[in-house]
Amino acid sequence: MRPLRFGRSRRWGRSSRRTAPPGVATTAPAADAAPVKPVNGYDVLDKVAALPISTWRYQWEPEHVRHLGPMAQDWHAAFGLGDTDTTIPLVDAHGVALVAIQALHRRVTDLEQRLAALTGASSSSRS
């Protein structure tokens, strides 16, 4: 199998409108994304937490090579993103990771505020 090439290859080089093969570019300009819908980060976080993660290798790779991640079928069943259950598009993996990080940040911030309120309340009650 030939490795993917980026940048100056003849097919995807500087003269091409694209800078990477389809599915590898990880951002979508707002003008190209339609329709844009909000996402519930906590729902995504729950799906990430329930997603089976394992180590594996492609059948053609040497025995010592290992990868870490979900199976594409499990990913597709959990999130319903992309157009097939045989691949995980990078743009979707990045989006899921970012929204899960945002949900974790909100959860930690909320817990810190609750802890500060409890600590402040217990400190003032001891005085």
In a domain, 25, yes or no: no
In a domain, 50, yes or no: yes
Above pLDDT 90, what percent of the chain?
61
**Which long-range contacts does 12-16 make (Cβ < 8 Å, 24+ apart)?**
none
The secondary structure of residue 31, as a DSSP letter, is G
Tell me the per-residue pLDDT of 13-32, one tens digit each, with 9 for 90 and over.
444 444 556 555 556 677 77
Range(s) of the domain holding residue 62? 39-126
In a domain, 103, yes or no: yes
In a domain, 33, yes or no: no
In a domain, 7, yes or no: no
Total domains, the chain: 1
Tell me the per-residue pLDDT of 55-68, one tens digit each, with 9 for 90 and over.
999 999 999 999 99
| HEC per residue, the chain | CCCCCCCCCCCCCCCCCCCCCCCCCCCCCHHHCCCCCCCCHHHHHHHHHHCCCEEECCCCCCCCCCEEECCHHHHHHHHCCCCCCCCCCHHHHHHHHHHHHHHHHHHHHHHHHHHHHHHHHHHHHHC
Give mean pLDDT, residues 40-59. 96
> Model pTM?
0.72
| Spatial separation of the C-alpha atoms in residues 46 and 113, rounded to whole Å | 22
In a domain, 22, yes or no: no
Q: If pLDDT is split at 50, 70 and 90, which confidence band does 5 have? A: very low
